[in-house]
């Protein structure tokens, strides 16, 4: 068995390090403007184009301003469009469509969503025993349900709109390789706990070392779970176009290369009455100010730039991830379309579908390796930079794991980084912006909401979190009570968190 290029059992150290007091300047920077380019930007057949809405005047006021054009922000626009397309009462009372604007600091969807590993896979049992112990059985079940729900909804939308092929959606599953006896024992215990609690284990298959070697070419035991891979940027563009073309009751504008640099409250006495809801916030951008009634922070890793109380270990910690795109040394039929993870999920990979005869062997997207970096790449916000040590580990990982399928001498065709938003618990912040460090309510945050911080596992959660937060905004607009969907873990809600005790 070849020596793996990454240390095993690093996750517990990761959790210790992320809990340490933050560096002095812990508030996140804005996204850098010269990021590395991911594979997902190599196809021009994507609308909107990357820099759409980057020129000309900015929108003159909006009802809802969404900051961030990743899967969270665009899903929010999609859910808003659905909420208002069937109900023209608000548009009728305004005498115009409900207006939403998406602000993006750089190119459309160029944050974590546009740089990620392309896995759309719901946990089948995840860290079930920890969730059970820390949060209780009901919450542990919801942590699984939200992911099943998200994957089901996203794949349904893609299918119903005939976009499965456009986004290269694959259903091959995820092979979770177990590199040590300890990892195998713990994963089996999570599986058994979730199964006993009634979680649906359809499609889960445990494989011996010999079976994995025979089928896939890696000398480790594994568990195969249902899972999908896709082209994340294209999937988000599908949602964007559905939102934009939804109905005359809703309008959506996109401003790329337009960072929001600050948000200030509009004094109630100065608020321009805009029945049924007044403008409450001024968003400052280099292209001019924009006033709006509601703000949704869909800024993920960068949330603390505008919300400094979310900086540090109890908030959202920016974390740099790195990926290479490298050719396998065998044809697709010898590789299968299964994606995989290894080493407690630090490494992940999937072979892209082969689209033409000219491609003799598949291109494989492989990410991870940050456990070889000092500090796990935590608090790194610069995705114009490649970490050399991480790159060395990534190049060696697949050849060491699947010795007959990859060649260690093969150079990657592309390499890039992207910034994830980690939280200590692994759960995102979803709901009204709450700063418990302030005594009493802070009126500056009235009408501000957030869905962010998916800890590197956002594809099967962000769409549903955006749905939940949009539900809150729409209920507030309509003067109704909001009740959480059955699948939403209550622990995700901002009201249940306290990010103020930051280090």
Ligand X SMILES: Cc1cc2nc3c(=O)[nH]c(=O)nc-3n(C[C@H](O)[C@H](O)[C@H](O)COP(=O)(O)OP(=O)(O)OC[C@H]3O[C@@H](n4cnc5c(N)ncnc54)[C@H](O)[C@@H]3O)c2cc1C
Instruction: State the pairing for strand pair 317-327/363-367.
Output: antiparallel
Which of 13/33 has CB closer to ligand X? 33
Q: Which helix (H) or strand (E) holds 131?
A: helix 128-135
Helices (H) and strands (E) in the chain, counts: 11, 18
Which of 90/151 has CB closer to ligand X? 151
Is the separation of the CB atoms in 73 and 66 below 8 Å?
yes
Instruction: State the pairing for strand pair 228-229/119-120.
Output: antiparallel
In angstroms, the CA 138 to CA 192 distance is: 16
In angstroms, the CA 390 to CA 342 distance is: 15
Q: Whose CA is closest to 431, among 489, 357, 391, 344? A: 489
Matching residue, tokens 């890039």: 416
**Closest distance to ligand X from the beta carbon of 148 (Å):** 14
**Closest distance to ligand X from the beta carbon of 144 (Å):** 15
Which of 73/226 has CB closer to ligand X? 73
Instruction: State the pairing for strand pair 317-327/290-297.
Output: unpaired
**Closest distance to ligand X from the beta carbon of 376 (Å):** 13
Q: Whose CA is closest to 295, among 97, 62, 479? A: 62
Matching residue, tokens 């580990």: 393
Which of 298/499 has CB closer to ligand X? 298
End-to-end CA distance of the chain: 43
In angstroms, the CA 49 to CA 35 distance is: 17
Burial class of 316 by CB neighbour count within 10 A (0 to 12, 13 to 18, 19+): buried
Which of 91/325 has CB closer to ligand X? 325
In angstroms, the CA 388 to CA 4 distance is: 17
**Closest distance to ligand X from the beta carbon of 440 (Å):** 27
**Closest distance to ligand X from the beta carbon of 216 (Å):** 19
Which of 48/249 has CB closer to ligand X? 48
Which of 90/296 has CB closer to ligand X? 296
**Closest distance to ligand X from the beta carbon of 181 (Å):** 27
**Closest distance to ligand X from the beta carbon of 363 (Å):** 15
Which of 98/263 has CB closer to ligand X? 263
Q: How many residues does the chain have?
A: 503
- CA of residue 167 relative to chain centroid, distance: 17
Which of 69/249 has CB closer to ligand X? 69
**Which residues in this chain contact ligand X in the complex, by CB under 6 A?**
30-31, 67-73, 103-106, 110-113, 115-119, 259-260, 298-302, 305-306, 321, 323, 348, 367, 418-420, 452, 454, 456-460, 462
**Closest distance to ligand X from the beta carbon of 306 (Å):** 6
In angstroms, the CA 372 to CA 463 distance is: 31
**Closest distance to ligand X from the beta carbon of 122 (Å):** 9
Sequential DSSP letters for 10-55:
-HHHHHHHHTSPPPSS-SPPPPPSSPPPPGGGS-S--SS-TTTT-S
Which of 150/329 has CB closer to ligand X? 150
Which of 290/323 has CB closer to ligand X? 323
**Closest distance to ligand X from the beta carbon of 67 (Å):** 5
SS (H, E, C) 321-386: EEEEEEECCCCHHHCCCCEEEECCCCEEEEECCCCCCCCCCCEEEEECCHHHCHHHHECCCCCCCC
Q: Which helix (H) or strand (E) holds 390?
A: helix 388-401
**Closest distance to ligand X from the beta carbon of 123 (Å):** 10
In angstroms, the CA 218 to CA 213 distance is: 5
**Closest distance to ligand X from the beta carbon of 225 (Å):** 14
Which of 166/348 has CB closer to ligand X? 348
């Amino acid at each position: 068995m070849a020596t793996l290029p990454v240390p095993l059992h690093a996750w517990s150290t990761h959790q210790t390090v992320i809990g340490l007091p933050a560096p002095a300047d812990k508030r996140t920077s804005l996204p850098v403007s010269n990021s590395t380019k991911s594979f997902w930007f190599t196809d021009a057949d994507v609308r909107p184009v990357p820099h759409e809405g980057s020129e000309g005047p900015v929108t003159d006021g909006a009802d809802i301003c969404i900051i961030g054009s990743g899967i969270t922000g665009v899903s929010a626009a999609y859910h808003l469009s659905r909420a208002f397309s069937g109900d023209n009462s608000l548009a009728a009372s305004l005498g115009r469509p409900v207006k939403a604007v998406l602000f993006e600091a750089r190119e459309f969807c160029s944050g974590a969503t546009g740089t990620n590993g392309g896995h759309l896979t719901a946990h089948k049992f995840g860290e079930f025993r920890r969730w059970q112990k820390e949060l209780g059985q009901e919450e542990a079940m919801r942590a699984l349900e939200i992911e099943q729900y998200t994957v089901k909804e996203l794949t349904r939308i893609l299918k119903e709109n005939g976009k499965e092929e456009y986004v290269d959606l694959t259903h091959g599953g995820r092979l979770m390789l177990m590199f040590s006896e300890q990892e195998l024992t713990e994963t089996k215990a999570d599986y058994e706990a979730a199964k006993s609690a009634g979680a649906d284990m359809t499609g889960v298959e445990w494989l011996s070392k010999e079976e994995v070697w025979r089928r896939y070419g890696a000398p480790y035991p594994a568990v195969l779970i249902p899972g999908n891979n896709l082209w994340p940027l294209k999937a988000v563009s599908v949602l964007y176009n559905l939102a934009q073309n939804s109905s005359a009751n809703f309008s959506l504008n996109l401003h790329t290369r337009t960072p929001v640099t600050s948000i200030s409250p509009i004094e109630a006495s100065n608020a321009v009455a805009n029945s049924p809801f007044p403008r409450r916030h001024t968003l400052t951008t280099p292209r001019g100010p924009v006033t709006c009634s509601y703000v949704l922070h869909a800024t993920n890793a960068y949330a603390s730039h505008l919300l400094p109380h979310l900086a540090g270990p109890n908030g959202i910690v920016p974390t740099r991830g790195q990926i290479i795109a490298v050719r396998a040394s065998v044809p697709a039929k010898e590789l299968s379309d299964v994606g995989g993870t290894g080493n407690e999920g630090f490494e992940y990979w999937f072979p892209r579908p082969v689209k033409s005869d000219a491609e003799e062997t598949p291109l494989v997207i492989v990410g991870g390796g940050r456990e070889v970096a000092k500090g796990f790449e935590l608090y790194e916000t610069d995705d114009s930079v490649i970490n050399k040590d991480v790159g060395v580990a990534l190049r060696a990982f697949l050849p060491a794991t699947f010795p007959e399928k990859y060649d260690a001498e093969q150079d990657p065709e592309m390499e890039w980084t992207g910034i994830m938003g980690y939280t200590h618990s692994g759960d995102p912040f979803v709901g009204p912006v709450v700063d418990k460090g302030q005594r009493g309510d802070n009126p500056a945050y009235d009408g501000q909401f957030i869905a962010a911080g998916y800890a590197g596992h956002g594809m099967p959660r962000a769409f549903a979190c955006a749905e939940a937060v949009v539900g809150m905004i729409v209920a507030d607009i309509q003067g109704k009570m909001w009740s959480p969907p059955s699948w939403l873990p209550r622990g995700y809600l901002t009201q249940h968190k306290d990010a103020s005790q930051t280090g």
